[in-house]
Amino acid sequence: MKSEQQIYYEALDWIHGLGRFGMKPGLERIRAMLERIGNPHHKIRFVHIAGTNGKGSTAVLLASMLQAAGYRVGLYTSPYLQSFNNRMAINGHDIEQDELVELVGQVRPVVEEITADEQLGQPTEFEVVTLLALAYFARKQVDLVVLEVGLGGRLDATNVVTPLLSIITNVSLDHTDVLGDTLEAVAVEKAGIIKQDIPLLTASDDPKVLAVIMARALELKAPLYCLFSPDNNTTGKTRPPAVFRHMFSEQGQIFNYSGYNRSYEKLFIPLLGTYQLNNAATALAAVELLADYNITVNEEAIRRGLAEAVWPGRLELLEQSPKLLIDGAHNAAAVKNLADAITGYFKYQRLILVIGIMANKDVSAMMSAILPLCDIAIFTKAGLPRAADPGYLAEIALHQLGFDQQKIKVVYDIASALDEGLNLAGPEDMVLVTGSFYTISEARAYWKQSCKKSKACNSDNI
């Protein structure tokens, strides 16, 4: 007889096995599957969040404040960092293994039925995971779901929902093979989440991007709130929110927020980076706008929710001596933010980089943003076919970016690369692991396992 753990892993194997069918943009399959299980998403209220970077952090900060106010909040994010179950959580608790297994048993016949339909064809892994999440949140009768877009927006499986509020954090170039190679083209895909008469909040400040978003919002009569462009609001609330950093340390940052109707002094978030202040301002503005739906969050809940927000893998300091920092920067804009944060928030003697990037990324642009800060660069790869060969990364660093050959190392697995970085580091140095969420996920898991074995880590993050 199979154990519960075996049954759980079989369910995961089935889900991940769908990955071999790749990505198929479109909403027809997810809509057909949802209809066959009773359209659970019609029973839930949503905040829908798209954006190139920052959407996950914004989602976590918003969900944490709503939870602190007493709401039962579902959170759907991707990719996961430690466990698949991280993808769907309620009030900070991941879906239980037995519940996931039960849901897989419910939807698997539906997936097979859709697969047999010649017009619809095989659903993708992300479509099925989204189906599972929407069924789970409806079953648990949550008050609200903060729903993060997977890729793009217009044709993303999450775009079947009609939310209370849509959010576009920002737009920069990423996944250009799918979304387009201009800001305007990517903006069109992100703006695809805008719905008729549904308010849209955006933290984008690029004029080209805003022009696309404004045009789509106007077409759909969607009230538009622009955090950083007061002339572009279409709502009468002409003064946009503002955020000012008060002080910071390696443990977090304190800031003031002046919003549409409410202002707060000395709010604390345990997330680092000036860009996280923008994400916090976006989440706070969203809280203000949700008040129009009688979803209220008082000041105590706002302060507690922000302070208690947990989002591993984003400028996460795992060790102190030497410093071990991991960050899931996975495109050029995110790496630029990472580089700014390293110089602005941390003190160290030497910076030792451990980096692994996916092959479909602009690896040259990503590395050019971080290599000038590094004393040693260790190129590595996550254990999946889409990871770029570390030898190729080293060649770009050497021949295109002019990085010193004596400072380059190539290590073909992340565990060995992390060991190499920590062995090279002195007590005042910092080891930085970045390049993709897959890279930092493997590094974090290996670090956690090593800590438990040695009991020598000087960290509370185990």
Domains of the chain: 4-307 (3.40.1190.10), 316-454 (3.90.190.20)
Q: How far apart are CA 219 and CA 235, in angstroms?
A: 15
pLDDT at 232: 45
Which of 276, 277, 275 is CA-nearest to residue 257?
Answer: 277
Q: How far apart are CA 437 and CA 439, in angstroms?
A: 5
pLDDT at 36: 97
What are the E-state strand segments in 43-178?
A: 46-50, 73-76, 88-90, 93-94, 144-148, 165-168
pLDDT at 450: 83
Q: How far apart are CA 188 and CA 65, in angstroms?
A: 30
Instruction: Write the single-letter amino acid at 348.
Output: Y
pLDDT at 236: 45
H and E: helices and strands count for the chain? 15, 17
pLDDT at 274: 86
What are the E-state strand segments in 157-199?
A: 165-168
Find the helix or strand (DSSP H, E) in which 214 lies: helix 207-219
Which of 305, 351, 359 is CA-nearest to residue 327?
Answer: 351
Q: In the beta sheet, which residues pair with residue 371?
A: none
Q: How far apart are CA 206 and CA 89, in angstroms?
A: 33
pLDDT at 231: 52
pLDDT at 275: 87
- Stretches in the chain below the pLDDT threshold 70: 21-23, 173-180, 229-240, 452-462
- Residues 6 or more apart whose CB falls under 8 angstroms from that of 244 comprise 255, 256, 258
Please say whether the beta carbons of 257 and 284 come within 8 A.
yes
